Amino acid sequence: MWLMLQEEIDRIDALMARSAGVDTVQGVIHASAPMTMSGNVATIPVKGALLSEPSFMMDFFGERYTVYRDISTQIRDAERRGASRIDLDIDSPGGTLDGLYATMSAIKNTKTPTRAVVTGKAASAAYMLASQTREIVARDELALVGSVGVATSKYTSKSIKDVANTDSPNKRPDVATEDGIAAVRGELDDIFNVLAERIAEGRGRNTTTEKVKTEYGRGAIMTARTALSKGMIDAIGADTKPSAEVAGNSKGEVAMDIQTLKSEHPALYAQVFNLGEQAGVQNERTRVEAHITLAEASGDMDTTLAAIRSGEVLTMAIQAKHMAAGINKRSIELRAQEAPAPVDAAGAEPPAVKPEEKAVQAAQAALKNLTLDLNVRREA
């Protein structure tokens, strides 16, 4: 079940459909971005689709997304580190229902002051997260806010007929009928009633559940200027950087940054720089060795050299190429060890395939279906 802009759902559907024809990775693996600290202010990025679990397919295509539980974890980390404020940096079309309510609770229940800063869009589930902060600020008037509601997609097929027991017809509603659509809509209304109550509580300021249902756009997306007039956000264009009072500590000290560290503590800066340089060298050595190890096993040095030169990490696509090269290499070696099978004039059956060749053929078939196995089921 989705709480996301329809255009984003359509884009992700198209992305999944492409998976069977993908040869190379188009991005790098990344899920939720890490929290950052500026003085005593913690900033938690809420970017891309909001999901309940990490998505291999989104990682494979280098798609930006955020895992709900990572937001909750980062809130606890900010509290542990003594943050005086937590900012949610939001640019998201929304996401799945699973994981949303728990994350809303984590934001609502933290004792640290919270603020949502809409830098792109805060739609659907993303707005619901923002509603639990003490203040919602939009970067400018064209930041997008809204799409408050719940939606789902149902597949219909003439070849499939779902049937439930007599007393539970709504367990498998037929969305090809008006009664089936009404049953599904009833489920969505029930879910939205709970969410609307939580949004109203989070917004406060005499906001009622009825106001959320009737005055928050009824599912529409809108500019920050319109959202401000409806009371959905609190300000536009306010300074989204931590103020000196908040960023500094209780003694009024200036927040430390890289330039301050370099100018005021050159010895410490040099030490940190050297540690980072050493770590970078070690990471690069590990990357190159991993590529070379696969090349030695598969014999595919061309793929390895190209990946090393481009700085590419050891992705699933690279491993798949080496696997294919290794299978082909082994197949050629086995065939070279055998003489052609004799065929008599009567057209006798050729000798049975040896176990080694059967293993190669099975591996080739598995590899052929590798990309099909990358498909993930969308949350339903």
Q: What is the 3-state secondary structure (H, E, C) of 71-129?
A: HHHHHHHHHHCCCCEEEEEEEECEEECCCHHHHHHHHHHCCCCEEEEEEEEEECHHHHH
For residue 36, is pLDDT > 60? Answer: yes
CB 120 within 8 A of CB 143: yes
For residue 184, is pLDDT > 80? Answer: yes
CA distance linking residue 120 with residue 224, whole number of Å: 10
pLDDT band per the 50, 70, 90 thresholds, residue 236: very high
- Give the residue among 95, 109, 93, 111 at the shortest CA–CA distance from 1: 95
Helices (H), the chain: 6-17, 56-60, 68-80, 100-109, 125-130, 178-203, 209-215, 224-229, 244-247, 258-264, 266-298, 301-310, 316-336, 355-368, 370-373
For residue 371, is pLDDT > 60? Answer: no
Contacts of 223 (CB under 8 A, 6+ apart): 141, 142, 143, 144, 145
Tokens for 216, please give them.
């928050």
For residue 182, is pLDDT > 60? Answer: yes
Predicted TM-score (pTM) of the model is 0.59
Tokens for 200, please give them.
């109203």
pLDDT band per the 50, 70, 90 thresholds, residue 224: very high
CA distance linking residue 137 with residue 152, whole number of Å: 29
Q: Side chain identity at 217, as an amino acid letter?
A: G
Tokens for 313, please give them.
């990490």
Phi, psi of 134 (to 5 degrees): -75, -20
For residue 42, is pLDDT > 90? Answer: yes
Strand order in the sheet with 2-4: 2-4, 94-96, 49-51, 65-67
Sequence length of the chain is: 380
Is residue 26 classed as helix, strand or coil in its secondary structure?
A: coil
For residue 138, is pLDDT > 50? Answer: yes
For residue 83, is pLDDT > 50? Answer: yes
pLDDT band per the 50, 70, 90 thresholds, residue 351: low
Q: What is the pLDDT of residue 290?
A: 72
Residue pLDDT, tens place only, 337-348 = 665 556 555 655
Mean pLDDT of 103-107: 97
Q: What is the pLDDT of residue 56?
A: 81
CB 198 within 8 A of CB 104: yes
Residue pLDDT, tens place only, 188-204 = 999 999 999 999 999 99
CB 48 within 8 A of CB 4: no
Domain boundary assignment for the chain: 2-247, 267-340+350-373
Of 81-85, 131-135, 212-216, 339-343, which gets the smallest average pLDDT? Answer: 339-343
Mean pLDDT of 47-71: 88
Of 133-137, 233-237, 260-264, which gets the smallest average pLDDT? Answer: 260-264
Is residue 361 classed as helix, strand or coil in its secondary structure?
A: helix
2-247 domain in CATH 3.40.50.300?
no
What is the rounded average pLDDT for all residues in the chain? 78
295 or 80, higher pLDDT? 80
